[in-house]
A = this chain, B = another copy of it.
Amino acid sequence: MRNWLLWQSPANNKKTTDGTLPLTNTPKRPLTLRDVSEASGVSEMTVSRVLRNKGDVSAATRQKVQDAAKRLGYVPNKIAGALASQRVNLVAVIIPSLGNMVFPEVLSGISETLEDTGLQPVVGVTDYLPEKEEKVLFEMLSWRPSGVIIAGLEHSEASQAMLQQAGIPVVEIMDTDGEPIDHCVGISHRRAGRKMAEEIIAAGYKRIGFMGTKMPLDHRARKRFEGFTRTLAKAGIEIADQEFYSGGSALAKGREMTAKMLERTPDLDFLYYSNDMIGAGGLLYLLEQGIDVPGKVGLAGFNGVELLDGLPRQLATMDACRRDIGVKAAQIIAALNAGDAVPDGPIVALDPTLAAGDTLRR
């Protein structure tokens, strides 16, 4: 029920540029096809065809309809259209957060790719909470989207069930360490952790500290940590110190944690950060302290965020292929949706590449 009484736009009686008054002063009722039909003297069906560019319509009729639609300011009702056609051009995109640069980049990959497919991404945010993921998923599925792109391979049983029952393409993104419901596109975080460990070992570092987020539900960070420690263990190295934070400015936290850790364990010669932002904080701290980087202490982060370009020194990091993940996932959805075959198998694993920067000696 809309509150017609309260709804009084102060701009309601503004003149349009050509000096005419707005068309309606009667309580606004959204226009329907019928209104356009009547205004143009063309049947509803034909109006519908014109407005959707579907089927053959004579140029003259088309013109009449378009004029009328424009003049009235008709906005089609997609709800009715979707119900009638059983077709919704929405793609649900479910991600844990918008706060760090990582997901926005995935999103831009998705939306650019979807741009000329007629599909529209719609974003839901879970805050890394499985219950919230469930809620968001349920909510989005109730709009009967044409596909789902969802971060991670770990979902509650209910979420899994919903995704399977939905009968639409599902692409799980960011991670490939696990079994996808349908398709997945991402990187292996275990492998990313391993690769970084190998690099560090090869560079001769021995006393390694780790800093990350206090998030048991961030499965990808966990997998990176696992891959990292296992590879170190194989080389007979154990993490010498570790610390986890939550909340606050990541840059500041990186700074603080680094200070604390170095005080506690002064002989550390390498610091591995679970994300670039805290890594950057650590880097700034070490430089201020006049500590030789990477001579005395080496550093590395994770993600390859653009921010790093502006730092005094280039932090070593690993690119998580965020944009590409978005693009690829969207391509799969688009293909499936068009009835095309998907060239890739169910798992598309991108290769996280190391950027050694200036904080990892070679």
Produce 1/0 per residue, A129-154, CB < 8 A to B: 00000000011011110100000000
Question: Which chain B residues border A16 with CB–CB below 8 Å?
Answer: 157, 161
Q: How far is the CB of A97 from chain B (nearest CB, A)?
A: 9
Q: Which residues from 67 to 81 on chain A have a C-beta closer than 8 Å to any C-beta of chain B?
A: 73, 75-80
Judge whether A343 is part of the interface by a CB distance below 8 angstroms: no
Quick one: closest B residue to A6, CB to CB? B336
* Structural contact, B142 and A254, CB atoms closer than 8 A: no
* Structural contact, B1 and A77, CB atoms closer than 8 A: no
Quick one: closest B residue to A17, CB to CB? B157
Q: Which residues from 278 to 317 on chain A have a C-beta closer than 8 Å to any C-beta of chain B?
A: 280-281, 284, 288, 306-312
* Structural contact, A75 and B7, CB atoms closer than 8 A: no
Judge whether A204 is part of the interface by a CB distance below 8 angstroms: no
* Structural contact, B98 and A107, CB atoms closer than 8 A: yes
* Structural contact, A142 and B78, CB atoms closer than 8 A: yes
* Stretch from A177-185, A191-199, A209-217 at the B interface: A177-185
* Structural contact, B73 and A339, CB atoms closer than 8 A: no
Quick one: closest B residue to A138, CB to CB? B75
Which of B27, B98, B122, B181 touches A98 (beta carbons < 8 Å)? B98
Question: Which chain B residues border A236 with CB–CB below 8 Å?
Answer: none
Q: How long is the Cα–Cα vector from A142 to B79 in the complex, in angstroms?
A: 8
Judge whether A53 is part of the interface by a CB distance below 8 angstroms: no
Judge whether A246 is part of the interface by a CB distance below 8 angstroms: no
Question: Which chain B residues border A249 with CB–CB below 8 Å?
Answer: 306-310
Judge whether A239 is part of the interface by a CB distance below 8 angstroms: no
Q: A75-B162, A78-B142, A310-B284 are in contact. Are A3 and B336 (CB under 8 A)?
A: yes
Which of B73, B161, B341 touches A161 (beta carbons < 8 Å)? B73
Judge whether A164 is part of the interface by a CB distance below 8 angstroms: yes
Judge whether A201 is part of the interface by a CB distance below 8 angstroms: no
Q: How long is the Cα–Cα vector from A253 to B310 in the complex, in angstroms?
A: 7
* Stretch from A165-173, A266-274, A320-328 at the B interface: A165-173
Q: How far is the CB of A64 from chain B (nearest CB, A)?
A: 20
* Stretch from A34-42, A82-90, A350-358 at the B interface: A82-90
Q: A10-B182, A79-B143 are in contact. Are A167 and B29 (CB under 8 A)?
A: yes
Q: How far is the CB of A25 from chain B (nearest CB, A)?
A: 12
Judge whether A55 is part of the interface by a CB distance below 8 angstroms: no
Judge whether A252 is part of the interface by a CB distance below 8 angstroms: yes
Q: How far is the CB of A355 from chain B (nearest CB, A)?
A: 14
Q: How long is the Cα–Cα vector from A27 to B167 in the complex, in angstroms?
A: 8
Q: How long is the Cα–Cα vector from A281 to B311 in the complex, in angstroms?
A: 8
Q: How far is the CB of A282 from chain B (nearest CB, A)?
A: 10
Q: A75-B141, A83-B83 are in contact. Are A9 and B170 (CB under 8 A)?
A: yes
* Structural contact, B255 and A3, CB atoms closer than 8 A: no
Question: Which chain B residues border A284 with CB–CB below 8 Å?
Answer: 310-312
Judge whether A28 is part of the interface by a CB distance below 8 angstroms: yes
Question: Which chain B residues border A167 with CB–CB below 8 Å?
Answer: 2, 4, 7, 27-30
Q: How long is the Cα–Cα vector from A99 to B98 in the complex, in angstroms?
A: 9
Question: Which chain B residues border A139 with CB–CB below 8 Å?
Answer: 120
Judge whether A240 is part of the interface by a CB distance below 8 angstroms: no
Judge whether A125 is part of the interface by a CB distance below 8 angstroms: yes
Instruction: Enumerate 8 A-B pairs (CB-CB under 8 Å) in ascending A order.
Output: A6-B342, A7-B336, A11-B180, A16-B157, A24-B165, A78-B142, A99-B104, A249-B310
